[in-house]
A = this chain, B = another copy of it.
Amino acid sequence: MLRGVTSAGLGSIESEERMIELAAAYGFQAVDLDAAALIARHGVDGARSLLQQHGIVLGAIGLPVEWRTTEEAFRQGLEKLATYAAAAAALGGTSCCTYILPSTDLKPAPFMAQAARRLRTCAQILGAYGIRLGLEFVGPHHLRTQWKHPFIWTLEETLDLIAVIGEPNVGLLFDAYHWYTNELNVADIEKLRPEQIVHVHINDAPDVPVSEAADNQRLYPGEGVIDLAGFLQGLQKIGYTGVVAQEILTEAPSTESPEVLMQRSKAGFDRVFAAAGMA
């Protein structure tokens, strides 16, 4: 498994270029970033060199298509997807992720039909560039009632969504916070096949009742109560060999310097990987 970072948890880090530098300096191997933007700034060769020089691989890109609202918004976003996918592929990327909010103001059944269809079109385009689409189920309980109607939030429901999308390149973005707030255990990870997991996000949760763990109160790995050793061991056991990137959503970005936060991140990874008996 490769250790990765996302911008969430690095405070006001000034650029993705700085993320790449710091990630390398602190022993990370992957960075989730906007590949198209990096190529826009450096050209394909320049972006590749930047990553290579730092020994960093592209983690995941985000899905730049708004599939959650109107057909018009979806069609507009779709116009850029192929270019984004080409950019990620040019930098050796193979993963594109999007989150599924657990509730919605829209009627849930019709929205599910529209969402699955739009995500299938996205998956088809991504697949042309060798990119896999990872869908993230979102577990924090408060979000289940933030909008009018329940949508989906469990692992099983997300596997059902993947099944109805029906494309060979769709799987999970498996995030520790959502595994934890869904009250899943290591056995639930062990039932998965490694190819069902496109990308992994790691983080920790505060010592509050699980139903109160809010989505934007995440901690660095090892600073909270999630059984991250079990989480990592489960992933290793099933043979997942992809990226494990930290995503520390907080109410406001930290005011600490990116260097301090990167050091804290590294310490967190060292802690939990060691606890899991892994390098």
Residues of chain A whose beta carbon lies under 8 Å from any beta carbon of chain B: 74-76, 78-83, 86, 89, 107-114, 116-118, 120-121, 124-125, 127-129, 149-152, 156-157, 160-161, 163-164, 166-168, 170, 193-195, 239, 241
Contacts and interface: CB of A to CB of B under 8 A. Distances in A.
Contacts of A79: 82-83, 86
A78 B170 CA distance: 20
B125 A121 contact: yes
A95 to B, nearest CB: 13
One complex includes copies of this chain to the number of 4
A125 to B, nearest CB: 7
Given A168-B166, A195-B194, A86 B82 contact: no
Contacts of A241: 239
Nearest to A106: B109
Contacts of A81: 82
A260 B239 CA distance: 38
A113 B109 CA distance: 8
A163 B113 CA distance: 8
Q: Say whether chain A's binding surface is mostly helix, strand, loop, or mixed.
A: helix
A87 to B, nearest CB: 10
A107 B167 contact: no
Contacts of A110: 112, 152, 156-157, 160
Contacts of A157: 107, 109-110, 113
12 contacts: A76-B86, A78-B125, A109-B109, A109-B150, A109-B152, A112-B113, A121-B128, A124-B124, A163-B168, A167-B168, A193-B195, A239-B239
Given A74-B128, A239-B194, A120 B152 contact: no
A167 B162 CA distance: 12
Given A78-B125, A120-B124, A120-B166, A150 B107 contact: yes
A149 B157 CA distance: 17
Contact of A113 (B89, B116, B149, B239): B116
Contacts of A168: 163, 166-168, 170
A78 B82 contact: yes
User: Closest 6 A-B residue pairs measured CB to CB?
Assistant: A195-B195, A112-B112, A108-B109, A117-B164, A113-B160, A109-B112
A127 B121 CA distance: 9
Contacts of A125: 78, 121, 124-125
Contacts of A163: 113, 117, 168
